Structure 1
Amino acid sequence: MREIAVKNAEVADKVRELVNNRKPGYSLDAPFYASQEVFDIDMKEIFGKHWIYVGVSPDVPEAGDYMTVKIGEQPILIVRGEDNEIRAFHNVCRHRGARVCSGAKGSTGNLVCPYHQWTYNTQGNLLFAEHMGEGFNPQHHSLKPVHLKNVAGMLFICLAENPPADFDDLVATMTPYIAPHQVENTKVAAQIDIIEEGNWKLTMENNRECYHCTGNHPELTISLFAYSYGFAPSEGTDPGAEAYDKMIAQRHAEWEAMGLPSKEVERLDCAISGFRTQRMPLDKAGQAQTMTTESACKKLLADFTDSALGGLSFWTQPNSWHHFMADHIVTFCVLPISPGKTLVRTKWLVNKDAVEGVDYTVENLTHVWKQTNDQDRLLVEESQRGVVSDAYEPGPYSPYTETLVEKFSAWYVGRLKANLG
């Protein structure tokens, strides 16, 4: 045990040195992307202590519906109870540790461990355990709970005993932004999981900038204004930029008057539970992130009557980003698998009453982000191949187009520094 403790202390010292030597405004040192030791600390200090986005309430639409997710080596079960409350538990039977539910999703009256049929209700209480003898108290063997917050239909869990309390600030700020889209009244029309052969931080860094978009995302940029991404101001007055800023102000005023909060809130590197949001206009028809920029679903969300409500973006540290439009929602969840392997899970939500083949097609709904995700996967994988090279050294971020990448890196390094001491 002493040898293990000494080794753990040595690893922590190495990571502290990396953290302390990190140069602001530059990409991270190679071990942050490639080291198993750093990855293990990431899983403990980042994914084990912060609020992690895992899914949406429509993943478990009815009482008894459940979904499973894995955070590192921690199997988690999320279930909607008979009281309609959504709860999270460690997906570990209190008998001998088998997973209670092995499928990705399902529906059940009670949760029955397949090994010895220990049976729990959807509140996690042990109801039945045969052959346990006198003196056995089922109340002492309930499923172990995991903290869960439902943010207007967006589900976050925290594995820590004492989760970051400032997440309540995120909930208070984001609920008015998300609630008009009525996530609870949607359904998951499609889900695509891809495995990127790269470190999870490269996935997140890639998402936090659109410097790369012009040359790599022809489908996505159809619906984006050129001034909304990859834009470096030139010297003097730029009439195009001024007109774009004026349009933003006008659209924000219109949307705010409709009860749709739109202004930017940016707390990516100044909060433990870092996040950012803003509603931005879309180009051309301005309705959705599709090849035509028109709605992908004829039946709009909630009680919307206007199809051109732009796109509400919502980013969270450390593992998610989301786009809310009038007709559909796209959510993204990033889950690390190993130092060089990351799961990216994308879900498309539409009105729960929309009919596939009548109101929408999955191909049209998913096309833009399916292509974009695959393009990003290649970029992340090329970056991973480079950062493990002896030639790699941290390079400077653009002060115009990569400021939010710096905020992600600063948040990450800051959280390691705080957690490691």
Structure 2
Amino acid sequence: MSVTPLKTHRELVDSRVPGCGFPGDIFSRQDVFDNDVDVFFNKLWILAGVTADVPEPGDVSTVEVGKASIMIVRDDDENIRTYRNVCRHRGSRIMKQAGKASVGMLVCPYHQWTYELDGSLKHATHMGQDFDKTCKSLIPVHTKVIGAHIFVCLSDEPPEDIAKLEQVMTPRFAPHQMQRTKIAFESELIENGNWKLVMENNRECYHCEGTHPELTNSFLPEDFGFCPDGLGEEAMKNYDAYVARNARNREDWESEGYICELFESLDESVHTNFRTQRLVIAGSNESQTLSTKVASTKLLGDLQRRDLGDVHMWGHNSWTHVMSDHSIVAFILPIAPDKTLVRTKWLVHEDAVEGVDYDLRTLTEVWLATNQQDADLVANTHSGTQDPAYIPGPYSKYTEAPLDQFCRWYDARLKAQGI
């Protein structure tokens, strides 16, 4: 009996009908997953943490990216440095497991080779007088700190267009002084789905109204996507009111120097994929809480206004919401074809005190619920894409255009690597 050969990764991508999603095998195959990790998590810039992960000199945050492990370190001069978590002797992990620790120096647990926080090798016994320690410093990782976000690239030749993200986001984050924050709460959630499905789910709000009651409480309905077909006079009046409200808020914010305009760097020509906009929040226009009012009365930075909406930013492995009182920073790391780690951090002012300035439940309840709801959606979708009956359907041009854009960008980045 003849066996039909498996399509290559390239053939799977090429089989996508424009305007529709990818075939199911692209979410489940190990060879596709391995290519994805290499191209999208090793060769491109990814979000790997926030500055509050390492608040003091000697603090280390260890992050695993596929087979790679990196150490984010705050050195004695308060700089953020990132190294490969590999001893230069025989390859032992210096930090045995992912997570946070506070150390004086970085010491390999195998033979106690000892490294300064600047990566230089300080101590290695029994190596002889001709051993040159200067040649065995820790291997650095390309690192860019933008706001509180720590972006890393594991490639020897990182894409240069991270400069555009830095140029666009630095002035948008600046009023919130995000490096003057601390982590009030963080969560880790393993979603039972492919990383591309996690990011597709994040890039559309077609599903939001029916599945995210906590989140949509602070969203304007028209931000879910707007389809004018078949709408009555009342609905069109509501849309006109939405447009007018956005215009008033933008004029008000921009008069005080807050940048609002939509900026996208998403097409096939870019490596560093991101989008940002300052969005109006429903109700009080203050924060993504059930009341739409601030969760923390200690505002970020030196802000005096509470009603500053939501500075929204997403890239190919992360999403961020920055409000006047707190920020939610989330990023994903692929674990397996059907497993994705979602790591979320709630940032508040560095001097904010729990129980005095903010209530933890009020701060976290919206996105804790939303993340779990999204995890359920992703798991259900991943399962469905593996059904023999699955045929990718069309994206909505009104609410899911970014998904088709993501597919085209994904295709282009693979082609650039000869896949």
Which residue is equivalent to 1:292? Answer: 291
Amino acid at match of 1:25: G
Where do 5+ consecutive residues of structure 1 fail to align? 1-9
Matched ranges for 1:243-392 at <5 A: 243-270=241-268, 271-316=270-315, 318-392=316-390
Where do 5+ consecutive residues of structure 2 fail to align? none
CA contact (8 A) 1:19 1:416 kept: no
Matched ranges for 1:151-230 at <5 A: 151-230=146-225
Cα deviation for residue 145 of structure 1 reads 0.8
Amino acid at match of 1:413: D
Which residue is equivalent to 2:13? Answer: 19
SS of alignment partner, residue 20 of structure 2: coil
Amino acid at match of 1:89: Y
Cα deviation for residue 189 of structure 1 reads 0.5
CA contact (8 A) 2:332 2:343 kept: yes
Which residue is equivalent to 1:38? Answer: 32
Cα deviation for residue 156 of structure 1 reads 0.4
Cα deviation for residue 21 of structure 1 reads 2.6
CA contact (8 A) 1:213 1:230 kept: no
CA contact (8 A) 1:268 1:407 kept: yes
CA contact (8 A) 1:30 1:388 kept: yes
Cα deviation for residue 235 of structure 1 reads 5.4
In 2, Cα distance between equivalents of 1:163 and 1:338: 24
Which residue is equivalent to 1:94? Answer: 88
Which residue is equivalent to 1:4? Answer: none
Write the deviation string for residues 109-147 of structure 1: whole angstroms up to 9, x where unpaired.
Answer: 211111111100111100000111231111111111110
In 1, Cα distance between equivalents of 2:109 and 2:294: 44
SS of alignment partner, residue 289 of structure 2: coil
Amino acid at match of 2:103: T
Matched ranges for 1:131-146 at <5 A: 131-146=126-141
In 1, Cα distance between equivalents of 2:397 and 2:119: 50
In 1, Cα distance between equivalents of 2:117 and 2:16: 46
In 2, Cα distance between equivalents of 1:301 and 1:329: 9
SS of alignment partner, residue 35 of structure 2: helix
Amino acid at match of 2:14: N
In 1, Cα distance between equivalents of 2:14 and 2:240: 41
CA contact (8 A) 2:15 2:23 kept: no
In 1, Cα distance between equivalents of 2:151 and 2:340: 19
Amino acid at match of 1:374: Q
1:65 and 2:63 correspond = no
Amino acid at match of 1:142: S
Cα deviation for residue 269 of structure 1 reads 2.3
Amino acid at match of 2:100: K
Which segment is superposed worse, 37-46 or 242-251? Answer: 242-251
CA contact (8 A) 1:36 1:339 kept: yes
Write the deviation string for residues 124-177 of structure 1: whole angstroms up to 9, x where unpaired.
Answer: 100000111231111111111110000122110001110111111111111111
Write the deviation string for residues 37-80 of structure 1: whole angstroms up to 9, x where unpaired.
Answer: 10000011111110000111111111111101011010100101
Write the deviation string for residues 155-212 of structure 1: whole angstroms up to 9, x where unpaired.
Answer: 1000111011111111111111112111110001100000001100110000000000
Structure 1 ranges of 4+ moved more than 6 A: none
Which segment is superposed worse, 228-237 or 19-28? Answer: 228-237
In 2, Cα distance between equivalents of 1:130 and 1:387: 55
Question: When the two structures are superposed, what TM-score results if normalisation uses the length of structure 1?
Answer: 0.95
In 2, Cα distance between equivalents of 1:420 and 1:395: 28
Identity %, equivalent residues: 47
Which residue is equivalent to 2:118? Answer: 123
Cα deviation for residue 306 of structure 1 reads 1.0
Cα deviation for residue 24 of structure 1 reads 1.9
Which residue is equivalent to 1:82? Answer: 76
CA contact (8 A) 2:299 2:306 kept: yes
Q: Number of aligned pairs?
A: 410
Question: When the two structures are superposed, what TM-score results if normalisation uses the length of structure 2?
Answer: 0.95
CA contact (8 A) 1:33 1:199 kept: yes
In 2, Cα distance between equivalents of 1:146 and 1:201: 25
Amino acid at match of 1:147: H
CA contact (8 A) 1:386 1:392 kept: yes
In 2, Cα distance between equivalents of 1:27 and 1:320: 21
Amino acid at match of 1:252: R
Cα deviation for residue 319 of structure 1 reads 0.2
Cα deviation for residue 308 of structure 1 reads 1.0
RMSD: 1.5
CA contact (8 A) 1:63 1:80 kept: yes
Cα deviation for residue 393 of structure 1 reads 1.4
SS of alignment partner, residue 194 of structure 1: strand
